Amino acid sequence: MSKLTASFRLMRVGFILAREGVLSALPSDGLPASLAFFHRFAGWFARKRSKKTNRSENMSRAMNKLGPSYIKLGQFLATRPDIVGSEVAKDLSSLQDHVDTFPHEQAIAQIEGSLGRKIDDLFVEFGPAIAAASMAQVHPATVRNPDGSLRKVAVKVIRPGVRRRFAKDLEGFYLAAEMQERYVPAARRLKPVSVVDTLAQTTKIEMDLRLEAAALSEIAENTRNDKGFRVPAVDWERTGRDVLTMEWIDGIKMSDIEGLKSAGFDLNALAVTLMQSFLKHTLRDGFFHADMHPGNLFVDKDGCIVAVDLGITGRLGKQEKRFLAEILYGFITRDYRRVANVHFEAGYVPPHQNMESFAQANRAIGEPIHGQSAETISMAKLLTLLFEVTELFDMQTRPELLLLQKTMVVVEGVSRSLNPHFNMWKAAEPVVKEWITKNLGPIGMAKDLTEGAQSLLTFARRTPELVRSVERIQKGADKMAQEGLHLDDDTLKRFALMQGKQNRFGRYAVILIAVCMVIITYKLVV
């Protein structure tokens, strides 16, 4: 029944997207004849007003009608141009989740339920919401310090019922992904079910404000000695699953260019600090703020950049950090074979592909860039082109690298808004060079040897356990060879039950198609 319910939800989604003119505005080039027909058919359902507005406005209106889960889905897909295409991803990246605030009394109930204390015991004052999004809203408040002084804080409160609503909509996302993998072979490389898994995981993390508080704490610890960048301090006493209390930031948004100029800040210095901070977080720490749009960045009175809203973060392992540093350095030095070699060593490009051909493709990306002035070279565009080329060589989708690419596009855009002539490569080179020196030079080799010795020692300690495991596996294999493979009655019953469910779902699909045709006929006649 859950699949049947999810099917009806998807039908409603399709109808709203068609009515708001989203489906008919999507690119139709290269579509098979059957899909091209449905593309034209969707245009008949579109409202007249949708034809007078652009696609991004129609998308925003449709996503807000569909609710918080679909707003998050749209924002998530904006990080995956490999799935939706670069044009649609660009439209989705402008999708804002500004929605109506929920009642003040419900916010208080959420806080008291999460922390187990009365609102008057927690805050001296608790003001009305000043901003609301799909998942939460923010309230200004005042707390009393142990010495009796007052301190202003920002209180983020989860929207009531949002977890239940997301869980229901998630069923529809999985159904759509499963159908895509089953009926669209070309889409299997993109692993749509895994994409939904990633969305589910990141959103669940975002809906537990204790984890956002932990992200703030981790980045604060990583950047405690960095100049020019910080995050708000967390008030752990007033933080729980549904509420996050943190330092109130008085500053100028980085989107307010005129305000920054009037305050006397050096815009180029801010751009350099922002870019270098992001690269340090990525390469040095392997943990970065993945939603660094101008609305989440402030400049305080001391000229320090303060990043807020860490609901979305990204992580890179050692291999991914090396991959990023090597390709950036390889393009800087025009060593295209080095760039290709890193892709093959990391296993991102299958070994059956030709490395020389891949190096040639990288040269096609790099050489035009070296013919331009440094101010016009876009690091984010370079990564975008690189990922487009890797598709030709069967590179498997790497979600963590795409999230990095998306964030770099945003950070680069903010830096260039501060200074249109900002030299991206000059700002990035010290950070990339330092990381390569420490991790790929003699110091890095010594570190790798130490880690390797530790791994060997751990392996040696586990040798007796591994030997016993191998013996058990060998005995099991010998028994199977002698007696054959046997399935117990319970296993056979489960197989039969699963097969029955699949058959029933097939019948449900036929019924749904028939219902759709009746609705379509009715619409055409009436």
Comparing CA positions, the residue from 198, 200, 201 lying closest to residue 171 is 200
Residue type, 119: I
Cα(60)–Cα(512) distance, integer angstroms = 28
- Residue 59 is encoded by which pair of tokens? 């998308």
- Is there a catalytic annotation at residue 291? yes
For residue 370, give the DSSP letter.
Answer: H
Counting Cα atoms < 13 Å in the Cβ hemisphere of 290 gives 24
Phi, psi dihedral angles at 304 (to 5 degrees): -90, 135
**Number of alpha helices (DSSP H) and beta strands (DSSP E) in the chain:** 23, 11
Structure tokens at 104: 């003040």
What is the separation of C-alpha 383 from the centre of its chain, rounded to a whole number of angstroms?
16
Q: What gap in Å lies between CA 452 and CA 447, rounded to an integer?
A: 9
Distance CA 46, CA 24 (A): 8
- Residue 314: count of CB within 10 angstroms of its CB: 23
Burial of 401 per CB tally in 10 Å (0-12, 13-18, 19+): buried
Residue that has been written with the tokens 């950090």 in this structure: 321
Strand pairing class (287-289; 229-230): unpaired
Q: Pairing between strand 150-158 and 136-144?
A: antiparallel
What type of residue sits at position 141? Answer: A
Helix or strand run (H / E) with residue 144: strand 136-144
Given the residues 266, 291, 448, 490, the one annotated as active site: 291
| Cα–Cα distance, 413 to 407 (Å, whole number) | 10
Tell the burial category of 512 from Cβ atoms under 10 Å away from its Cβ (0-12, 13-18, 19+): middle
**DSSP β-bridge partners for residue 289:** 313
Alpha-carbon distance values, 510 to 15, 38, 502, 505, 515 (Å): 19, 18, 13, 9, 9
How far, in Å, CA of 251 to CA of 267, rounded?
15
- Supply the residues annotated as catalytic: 291
